[in-house]
Chains A and B, each alone.
Chain A
Amino acid sequence: MLQKKICMLGAYGVGKTSLVRRFVESIFDEKYHTTLGVKIDKRVMEIGDTRFTLVLWDLAGDDEVEQANLSHLRGASGYILVVDGCRKSTLDRAVLLKQRVDQVLGPVAAVLALNKCDINDQWAVTPAMVEEIFAHHMPVFVTSAKTGHAVEEMFQALAIQTLGETTR
Chain B
Amino acid sequence: MKAGNGDDRDLAELRDLLFPERAQLDEIGEHIHNRSLRAGDISEVLPDAIVLRAGQDASLRAALAPTLVEALRASVRKDPSLLADALFPMIGAAVRRAVAAALADMTDSLNKIVESSLSIRSVQWRIEALRTGKSFGEIALTRSLLYRVEQVFLIHADSGLLLQHAMSPAAVVKDPDMVSGMLTAIQDFVHDSFGAAENALETLRVGEFSVWVQHGPRAILAGVVRGTAPPGLNTVFATALETIQRDYAIELAKFDGDAAPFTGTRSVLDKCLLGQSPPARGKSYAWLYVLGVLLLLLIGFFAVRNLRERQRWNSYLSTVEEQPGIKITKVERQGGKYLISGLRDPLAPNPAQLLPAFHIAPDRVTFQWESYLSLAPSFAAEREFLRLKEALDRQAVLFGVGQTSFNPQSLLPIAEQFRRILETPGKAVTLELAGHADSMGTEPTNQRLAEDRAKVVKAALVDFGIDPAKITTRSSVIQTSTSMLSRSVTFQVLTSGQ
A57 to B158, CA, bound (A): 13
Contacts of A148 in B (CB 8 A): none
Do B178 and A28 touch (CB < 8 A)?
yes
Do B174 and A27 touch (CB < 8 A)?
yes
Which one of A3, A40, A57, A72 contacts B257 once the chains associate, using CB atoms below 8 Å? A3
Q: A36 at interface (Cβ–Cβ under 8 A)?
A: yes
Chain B contact residue count (CB 8 A cutoff): 25
Most buried by B among A1, A25, A57, A75: A75
Q: Which secondary structure dominates where chain A touches chain B? A: mixed
Kindly identify, within residues 136 to 151 of chain A, every residue whose CB is under 8 Å from any CB belonging to chain B. none
Do B257 and A4 touch (CB < 8 A)?
yes
Contacts of A32 in B (CB 8 A): 182
A152 to B263, CA, bound (A): 31
Do A166 and B159 touch (CB < 8 A)?
no
Most buried by B among A55, A77, A166: A55
Q: A84 at interface (Cβ–Cβ under 8 A)?
A: no
A166 to B258, CA, bound (A): 9
Q: B155 to chain A: closest CB distance in Å?
A: 10
Contacts of A2 in B (CB 8 A): 257-259
A67 to B189, CA, bound (A): 10
A5 to B182, CA, bound (A): 12
Do A3 and B182 touch (CB < 8 A)?
no
Contacts of B258 in A (CB 8 A): 2-3, 166
Q: A76 at interface (Cβ–Cβ under 8 A)?
A: yes
Q: A38 at interface (Cβ–Cβ under 8 A)?
A: yes
**Of all chain A residues, which has the CB nearest B190?**
A36
Do A53 and B193 contact each other (CB < 8 Å), given the known contacts A2-B258, A3-B162?
no
Do B177 and A55 touch (CB < 8 A)?
yes
Do A28 and B182 contact each other (CB < 8 Å), given the known contacts A2-B257, A42-B175, A42-B177?
yes
**Of all chain B residues, which has the CB nearest A76?**
B159
Do A72 and B178 touch (CB < 8 A)?
no
Q: B191 at interface (Cβ–Cβ under 8 A)?
A: yes
Do B189 and A36 touch (CB < 8 A)?
yes
Kindly identify, within residues 144 to 168 of chain A, every residue whose CB is under 8 Å from any CB belonging to chain B. 162, 165-166
Kindly identify, within residues 5 to 33 of chain A, every residue whose CB is under 8 Å from any CB belonging to chain B. 5, 25-28, 32
Kindly identify, within residues 185 to 214 of chain B, every residue whose CB is under 8 Å from any CB belonging to chain A. 185-186, 188-189, 191-193
A71 to B188, CA, bound (A): 7
A40 to B161, CA, bound (A): 11
Do A27 and B162 touch (CB < 8 A)?
no
Do B259 and A1 touch (CB < 8 A)?
yes
Contacts of B259 in A (CB 8 A): 1-3
19 contacts between A and B (CB under 8 A): A3-B259, A4-B257, A27-B175, A27-B178, A27-B179, A36-B189, A40-B185, A42-B178, A55-B160, A57-B181, A67-B192, A68-B189, A68-B192, A71-B191, A72-B188, A74-B158, A75-B161, A76-B159, A166-B258
Chain B interface residues toward A at CB < 8 A? 156-162, 174-175, 177-179, 181-182, 185-186, 188-189, 191-193, 256-259
A5-B161, A71-B188 given; name 15 further pairs at CB < 8 Å. A1-B259, A3-B161, A3-B257, A25-B175, A27-B179, A36-B185, A38-B185, A40-B182, A42-B178, A53-B177, A67-B192, A74-B159, A77-B256, A166-B257, A166-B258
